[in-house]
Amino acid sequence: MKKAPALSIRVKTILRMMLSGLILVGVVVGGLLIGEGRPSVDLLNRNTPPSLNHLFGTDWLGRDLLARTLRGLTMSIMIGVISVTISATIAFLLSIISSWGRFLDICVNWFIDMFLSVPHIVILLLISFALGGGVKGVIAGLALTHWPILTRLLRAEVMQIKESEYVSLSRQLGKSRLFISRRHILPHIIPQLFVGWLLLFPHVILHESAITFLGFGLPAEQPSIGIILSESMQYLTAGLWWLAFFPGLALLLVVLSYDLLGNSIRTFIDPYQVRK
C-alpha cells in the first residue's frame, strides 16, 4: 500500500533516540553558552510580546524569556542528574538487600509502602521545609523520594534471577551472597538500572518545577521554570500570555524527550518490547 518501505522498528528507535538526545543536548549547550549574569535586565523592553529579537518575548524586567527558559531548563537537568543518580543508587542497593533474606525483603517492601502512602508533593514540601528551602532542600527532597517505584521494578527482576538455576547452583557450590549479587545479579540488572535512571528524569524534573512553583524550591534569583511560571501568574489577567506559554511548552518538550529517550533505549535493550 505505501510506496516507500516502512522503516523497521530498529531504525525508528534509533531515529527517536537521536531526536530526543539532540533536543536535550541542545538545551544544555544553549543554557551553558548563555552564561552567568545573562539574560541581562533591560528596563526599556519590559513585557514585550514575542518577536524576532526575543522569540519568547521578555519579562517584567525586560529579560529575554528564551534565554531565561534555557538557563532554567539547564538548571533543572543538572539538579535532575544529581537527584536521579542518588535515587537510582538507593533503589539499586535496596533491591539487592531485599534479595538477601525474607525479613529484609519485608522491611524493604514496608519502606516502599510507607513512602508511597504520603502524597509525593507533601513529602517534598516537608523535606524542603526541614532544610529551610533552597537548592539543597530541593535536591535532598527529590533524591530521597524517587526510589520506591524503581526499587519495586528492580526487586522483581532480582527475585526472578534469584530463582534461576545457575544462581541456586552457585549457592550450592558455597558462593557467598555478596559473590552472587555481584557476579550473577548485577550484570543482569545494569541495563534495567540505566533505563530506570533515565525514566526517572521526567518525574524529577516535573516535581522540581512544581515544588519551585509552590515557593518551596529554588530561590527567586535562580533561573527556573517554576519561578518563571509563578511570576507569570501576576500578569495573566493583563493578558501577557507568552510569559507562561513558551516556558511551560519548553519544559513539556524536555520532559517528553527524556521519556522518549528512555523508552527507545528500553526497546533497544529489551527484545520482548520490540515484538509487542
Partner 1 sequence: MRPQKLASYFISKLLRLVLLLFAVSLASFILISFSPVDPVQSYIGAEASRVSPEQRKEIEAYWGLNEPLIDQYKKWVTAILQGDLGTSLLFRAPVSHVIGERFVASFLLMAIAWILSGVIGLILGILTGSKHGSWLDRSIRLYCYILSSTPSFWLGLLLLMTFSVWLGWSPVGLASPAGILTDEVTIWQKLNHLILPALTLSLLGVAQTTLHTRQKLIEVLASEYAIYAKAKGESDLQLLWRHGLRNAALPAISIQFATFGELFGGAVLAEQVFSYPGLGQAVVQAGLGGDIPLLLGIVLFSTIFVFTGNSLADIIYRLIDPRLRNGGRQ
Identify the residue among 239, 271, 272, 275 touching partner 1 (CB under 8 A): 239
From 58-66, 76-84, 120-128, 267-275, span contacting partner 1 (CB under 8 A) = 120-128
Cβ-based nearer residue to partner 1, 189 or 225: 225
Distances from the Cα of 28 to the Cαs of 18, 67, 85, in angstroms? 15, 12, 18
Q: How far apart are the first and last CA of the chain?
A: 23
d(CA 152, CA 155): 5
Task: Report in angstroms how near the CB of residue 254 gets to partner 1 at its nearest.
Answer: 9
Nearest approach in angstroms of CB 211 to partner 1 is: 10
Interface map 171-210 toward partner 1 (x if CB under 8 A): -------------------------------x---x--xx
**108 vs 98: CA distance, rounded Å:** 6
Tell me the DSSP string of 49-101.
Answer: PP-SSSTT-B-TT--BHHHHHHHHHHHHHHHHHHHHHHHHHHHHHHHHHHTT-
Total residues interacting with partner 1, rule: CB under 8 A: 41
Site track for partner 1 across 57-96, x = CB under 8 A? ----------------------------------------
Q: Which of 131, 186, 269, 274 binds partner 1 (CB under 8 A)?
A: 131
Residue 236 touching partner 1 (CB under 8 A) = yes
- Tell me: does residue 220 bind partner 1 (CB under 8 A): no
Q: Interacting stretch for partner 1, rule CB under 8 A, among 34-42, 45-53, 158-166, 246-254?
A: 246-254
Q: Is the dihedral of CA 216, 219, 220, 225 positive or negative?
A: negative
Nearer to partner 1, 139 or 229 (CB): 229
Interface residue with partner 1, options 42, 105, 231, 259 (CB under 8 A): 259
42 near 58, Cβ under 8 Å? yes
**Hey, what long-range contacts does 134-138 have (CB within 8 A, 24 or more apart)?**
134/218, 134/219, 135/79, 135/218, 135/219, 135/222, 137/216, 137/217, 138/79, 138/83, 138/208, 138/211, 138/212, 138/216, 138/217, 138/218
Residue ranges that bind partner 1, judged by CB under 8 A: 113-114, 116-122, 125-132, 202, 206, 209-210, 213-216, 225, 229, 232-233, 236-237, 239, 241, 244-245, 248, 251-252, 255-256, 259
